[in-house]
Structure 1
Amino acid sequence: MVLNSIEKLLEKYDNGETTIKEEQQLKAYFAQEEVAPHLESYKTMFQYFNTTKQEDLYTKDVPLKTKKSHIYQWISVAALLVLSLGIFTTQFGEDKLTYSQLTLQEQKDYDQAVEVFNLIGSKFEQGESNMAAFGLMSNKLSEGAEKFEPVAEFSKATNKILKSKKKKTKTSKN
């Protein structure tokens, strides 16, 4: 009678329909020395659950050392200065000069400003392409998870078939 109720509880357990009390009954049964031979696999499973529950979790803090790069801060400061200088000169400068009318120093400054803007633009483009790679990786992980679901369903069905075959062979032996 006890074996019959344990088998019913195991069937409910496999279907995810047991209550906490029923699971405690299963744990108590499989904690015994002698278990029915056809339920030995469940005994090892419940013993594994008990041992892993008793293990201490690793709770030590892991310090993370991050490298702080100040170059981006300086680039942003330089860009801000160039922009404010540009706005200041366009508002208060009445004469509009062409590139050829600038002095050599002004031409160098202009060229450097253009290089800074190009550098900032290329860094933004790099960041955008990196984010696209993360998006692609996320999509691939989602696709992989979706493809794994039928495998889990197949595994459940296979386990049910194998259990029913075991029951049939045991009843035919008896």
Structure 2
Amino acid sequence: MELDRIEKLLEKYFEAETTEAEEQILRDYFTGDSVAEHLQEYSSMFSYFSHAKEERFTKQVPLKPRVDYYKWISVAAVAVMVFGIYFGKDYQEQREAEYAYQQTKKALGLLATNFDRGTKKVAYLNEFQETKQKIYKNN
């Protein structure tokens, strides 16, 4: 009867469905002397688990002071953002000023070209005016 119960608990154990109390029953059974011969192979496993549970790490672990990298990364990110905004704004203003200068230069060039054409036409008018004055003076 007890052997059937142990085998059922063992199946539940390997399917990870046992409770703490059932696992304690298995540990007690397999660490005892009256283990059935066909279950003898599990005895070493459970004895290992009980020894491993009692095992403790005795070396002193040196603790290093934890460096808070996130704080320094955030400080660097803010510095980069401020740098980018400050100099990016200046760069953008410089680009806009350069663009305005180029557009003004283009407009003044167009004005000069048209003004030059206009002065040529006015030169003909001046010639006409002088000729007209000569005609009026002669009469």
TM-score, structure 1 normalization: 0.36
